[in-house]
Amino acid sequence: MIEHFQEKVKTVNNFIPQVLQTGMEVVNSSDNNSTTRLCSAVLLGFERLLLVNAISKSESVLLLKFASDRLSLPATHINTHSILGLLVTCMYADISETDENRLDTAELKMEVVSILFDRRGLPQESEVITGILPTLMSDLFSSQDIMNKVIGEFLSEQQPHPVLIAKMVYEVFEEQATVGGSSFLQDWVLLSITSFTQRHPLAMAIWSLTCFFVSVSSNHWLKGLFPYVASRIGCLDEVDEKIFLLSCKDFYDGIRHDSHKSQTFVSVFQSAGRTELIYKTVLEAIAAT
């Protein structure tokens, strides 16, 4: 009714807010299987109102906050896919507006992205979320914000899905290579590698660095190893060390002719090499080429 008689219902005092409030109460009370279909229908109705611009911006923000609050609950307490659908629709609701008009929701949207990163759900659910995040972030945020957020999550010791985040790093780097170019990615890698060398245990540090260097590489043969590299989390044998050294050399070859970048790389591994032999081996490998 709201969709097809928008002008008329807007003349009825508080009609739309009351409908939204009633719908949210229905969803909040639908914590059992008997009401799952009703909950899904209400959430789809909310999505439809957003898509046809039948509600105000403040009401769209209200639905965004509602969806993010629901998604903060344990997976067993919500219809995750339906809530996620509403959340994504809310995130895109004002995408046609000017950047100036979207500034007031930018911070809220980044908070929602943080909720998605931190969510501890079923493996299938986590795969869906990390699958949509690269595109979502690319559409809504600046390259600087995207890189800062994704790398920060990859470095986080509290991140519940490091392998999925590693895959996201790979996808984001692929996207950002076309936007900012290889130099942009190299700068971010050089800003971050000190933090990676300080990770513990050593196997985690080497795995993180290898994922990072392979993701930024333009070498198709090396990039083809990424699925294997991602699967080796927590492992460190001779093969892992060889791939790590190959990825380090490949990255260094890309910055060799930039004195500032190459010196930054060498300095990081000289410092790390004081405590771990494998980082000294990196310097020996690049010196031999």
- Listed by start position, the domains of the chain span 1-141, 143-289
- The residue ranking higher by pLDDT, 210 or 8, is 210
Region 174-180 average pLDDT: 86
User: Is the confidence at residue 236, as pLDDT, over 80?
Assistant: yes
Region 108-133 average pLDDT: 83
DSSP 165-179: HHHHHHHHHHHHHHH
Region 143-153 average pLDDT: 93
Q: Which range is least confidently modeled, 48-52, 90-94, 100-104, 122-126?
A: 100-104
Cβ proximity of 136 and 113 under 8 Å: yes
pLDDT level of residue 32 (50, 70, 90 thresholds): low
Q: Which range is least confidently modeled, 59-68, 210-219, 261-270?
A: 59-68
N- to C-terminal Cα separation, the chain: 71
> In the prediction, which pLDDT does 198 show?
92
Taken as a whole, the chain contains a residue count of 289
Q: Side-chain half-sphere of 260: how many Cα atoms within 13 Å?
A: 4
Q: Which range is least confidently modeled, 124-128, 193-197, 200-204, 281-285?
A: 124-128
Region 231-245 average pLDDT: 95
Query: Is 280 strand, coil or helix?
Result: helix
% of residues, the chain, pLDDT over 70: 87
pLDDT level of residue 266 (50, 70, 90 thresholds): very high
> In the prediction, which pLDDT does 15 show?
76
> In the prediction, which pLDDT does 81 show?
80
Residue reference for tokens 């639905």? 63
Secondary structure letter of residue 35 according to DSSP: G
> In the prediction, which pLDDT does 58 show?
87
Region 172-186 average pLDDT: 88
Distances (CA, A) of 30 to 10, 17, 43, 57, 201: 28, 20, 12, 26, 44
Distances (CA, A) of 284 to 242, 268, 270: 13, 14, 11
Query: Is 157 strand, coil or helix?
Result: coil
User: Is the confidence at residue 4, as pLDDT, over 80?
Assistant: no
User: Is the confidence at residue 103, as pLDDT, over 70?
Assistant: no
| Average pLDDT taken over every residue of the chain | 86
Burial 127-158 (b: 16+ CB within 10 A, else e): eebbeebbebbeebbebeebbebbbebbbeee
> In the prediction, which pLDDT does 137 show?
92
Question: Whole-angstrom Cα distance, residue 51 to residue 53?
Answer: 6
Cβ proximity of 139 and 88 under 8 Å: no
Residue reference for tokens 């494998």? 278
Count CB neighbours of 33 within 10 A: 8
User: Is the confidence at residue 264, as pLDDT, over 80?
Assistant: yes
> In the prediction, which pLDDT does 262 show?
94
